[in-house]
Structure 1
Amino acid sequence: MYVSHFIQVMNLAVLRGEFPVNVRKFYGFKPSQSNVPPLNTEAELVEIGKGLIKGEKERTMSGGSPILSPKISLVNMHYDKFLEASNQHQKLKDNSAKANLKVASLRTKADEIILEIWNEVEAHFEELNLAERREQSMQYGLVYVYRKSEKESIKRFMQMSA
């Protein structure tokens, strides 16, 4: 917001004749560019903010009067806060991506362990009929979830085995 406001104030000063048109070059803009450039992405904001801070410093060092509302120091402060937050966000995204990779790498092993336990529990109750086996297995934590297409065939099979 401060970056956009600073550009608008600079452009209004040019429009009022307080600054020459070529003052825009200090900030990395074309002299004919009187609109606020897109600030939709993090990269655009970082690049343009950096150009404003550098450009205002160069412009005032060459004798130009500073833009006062907002002062570049205020823009710089908010720009630095944005960079810190952006860097922290990137670190969190990187950590999240690493954690997701770790979970994905453990998934295969976890699936193998689950299958092994599942098979052991069912094998323990193999002498029981299907309905009793499933009931006993459920007490050990096995959860049977049927697909829609399986429900009818299982219902028929259960009736036959009962």
Structure 2
Amino acid sequence: MPHRRLPNTAATVLRALKAARDTWKNSRPADRAITNDQWTKLDDENPDCLLSRFIKESNDVSLALAAQAPITAALTQTNERLAMFVSHFHQVLNFGILRGLFDPGARSYYGRDIAATTIPDLSTQDAVIEAAEKVVSGEAARAAAESAGVPRWDGSPDGGTIPHVPMSHPTAAEVAALLAHLADLQNKSQSAQTKTDLEREDVTRLYPEAHALAVDICDTVEFFHRKDPDASSRRAKCARWGVVYIYDDGETQSPTGDPSSPGPIATP
């Protein structure tokens, strides 16, 4: 047995109100199932009516999300790239230590144990940033120490000091550049998220009134068509006004009365 499902989200409320608006416009006065008072809240010729304002605020959320999406994507990509650079930096360092190019103690400049066999944790954005910062500061500290002359560690009889060999593939400067880019994207992402949240708050403020109107319209429409003796026909007529019916198989009643066809589609 089909049952009515009332709109209970901003999206479903908006669909119901748009359906009622469009059906009013396409109906003869005698067939209009909602009241004039309800229509005044749907009349999109009035930019200050409830539906016009609800559409605007909903569109503002969509625009904010659209503006935020590329920033979020760039932030994710840059974080992944920075993680790769940090990983490669430590792998190259390990290979250099194996070849005798770097002192095992060089690991300590980058916040690692001198006998470490694994690279730093890079599983979160915070961990990546922390490891990248240690690469940048550690490379500068190692350069300063080794340029000042660090005694050879291999016990070579000729004595002398370790020549400073800067890291490469990637360099610390490349890591620093990505780190700065990531910080810039984080700031932009935070600003974009704040904008989206503010737009959502505007929708939230209007939602109770819009929801109450949508439910009231559903009740009014069903009452208007209550004397139709054919239940299927009655539901089809109500569906044109945005009332949704759910069947046991989960399908919804469409405006045409065919449960398999799509529901009402309305444009702002």
TM-score normalised by L of structure 2: 0.46
Partner of 2:213: 113
**CA–CA distance in structure 2, aligned partners of residues 142 and 89 of structure 1:** 37
Long gaps (5+) in structure 1: 150-162
Which of 25, 28, 33 aligns to 2:116? It is 33
Partner of 1:152: none
Long gaps (5+) in structure 2: 1-83, 148-163, 250-268
Aligned partner letter, 1:114: A
Higher helix proportion:
1
Partner of 1:52: 135
Which of 155, 168, 190 aligns to 1:68? It is 168
Deviation at 1:136, TM superposition (A): 4.5
1:3 matches 2:103: no
TM-score normalised by L of structure 1: 0.72
Residue identity over aligned pairs, in percent, reads: 24
**What do residues 65-95 of structure 1 show as CA deviations (whole Å, max 9, x unaligned)?**
3213322111211222233334444554555
Aligned partner letter, 1:30: D
Aligned partner letter, 1:18: L
* Secondary structure of 1:145's aligned partner: strand
Deviation at 1:52, TM superposition (A): 0.6
Deviation at 1:5, TM superposition (A): 1.1
Partner of 1:83: 183
1:129 matches 2:129: no
Aligned partner letter, 1:15: L
**Coordinate RMSD, CA, aligned:** 2.8
- Distance 1:34-1:135 versus aligned 2 partners, 3 A rule: closer
**CA–CA distance in structure 2, aligned partners of residues 12 and 117 of structure 1:** 72
Aligned residues: 147
